[in-house]
A = this chain, B = another copy of it.
């Protein structure tokens, strides 16, 4: 079975001898070949150059033959394309040129620019698609509307995104105007990624977990649902709402083709509760990959055992692979899953 077919079969809800596997941030700092490139180019240079982005995307496939590649990019390319440039100050975190503060700021954002200005992402996808042939699956992605809005309203990183949340409570009309604009941009962006060769797309709702049960659907979930509806039939959509798995029923209501999970609860519990047609993705704690082969094997085998005979499962970490991960530990992960 080709890696791409394995990935798409799991996403379609099939029961397989072993799950397909890819790792969030698999193209990244734990790879020496990535660090070598990074000595010559900044992160944003690599994101914005189709050739470099394609090269970085392919690095983990060449080394490990994961079942899917995910395009090397950043969730903040959408705010950037809409008119909010950002950088990474030396103290850490993300800093945007300015924050969205008024109705005029929102009116000035142009969602239509996204498909033009992010041509470099689509070009990178086309290069990767060609290189992968139809052997390995290719995943496109976008930040989820709430997560993008959170950065845009704070003007960068924040511990609690309280200012962003406060706008929803204080000026809900303004909040929804912004979210509608971002949602339109995300839909256009994902459609172009699919045209450029993405087999599936993932929505990263990295800050879903700081919302409240009462506000989540209105602030985030309804927009995920709109995106899924617009993309339905074009490519499967995976929703990864970090830290928000306590309201599984609200996540399910977005009607995505698959839900990604962190390690907060056993993936078998999620599998049992999600509808059969909805695939699940996850959920090893990336910190475990810092340990040793015995521990890694034991932890993965426990997950495999809990998922025995359960259909529609893509193996992944519960969050991005850590830069300090030893290369051999990734091999151990793959060998254990593939029963090699």
Contacts and interface: CB of A to CB of B under 8 A. Distances in A.
Interface in A114-155: none
A286 B162 contact: yes
A264 B212 contact: yes
Interface stretch (A71-79, A228-236, A243-251): A243-251
A265 B213 contact: yes
Interface string A280-312: 000001111011100100010010000000000
Among A92, A214, A265, A318, the most chain B Cβ lie within 10 Å of the Cβ of: A214
A215 B298 CA distance: 13
Contacts of A163: 290, 324
A213 B162 contact: no
Interface string A182-214: 000000000000000000000000000100111
A163 B324 CA distance: 9
Interface string A159-175: 01011011001100000
Contacts of A319: 160
Contacts of A169: 287-288, 290-292, 295, 299
Contacts of A291: 166, 169-170
Interface in A251-293: 263-266, 285-288, 290-292
A215 B264 CA distance: 10
Closest 8 A/B residue pairs (Cβ): A169-B291, A166-B290, A165-B287, A212-B263, A91-B91, A246-B246, A162-B287, A170-B291
Given A162-B324, A212-B318, 7 more contacts: A91-B91, A162-B322, A163-B290, A165-B285, A214-B266, A245-B246, A247-B265
Interface of A: 91-92, 160, 162-163, 165-166, 169-170, 209, 212-215, 243, 245-247, 263-266, 285-288, 290-292, 295, 299, 302, 318-319, 322, 324
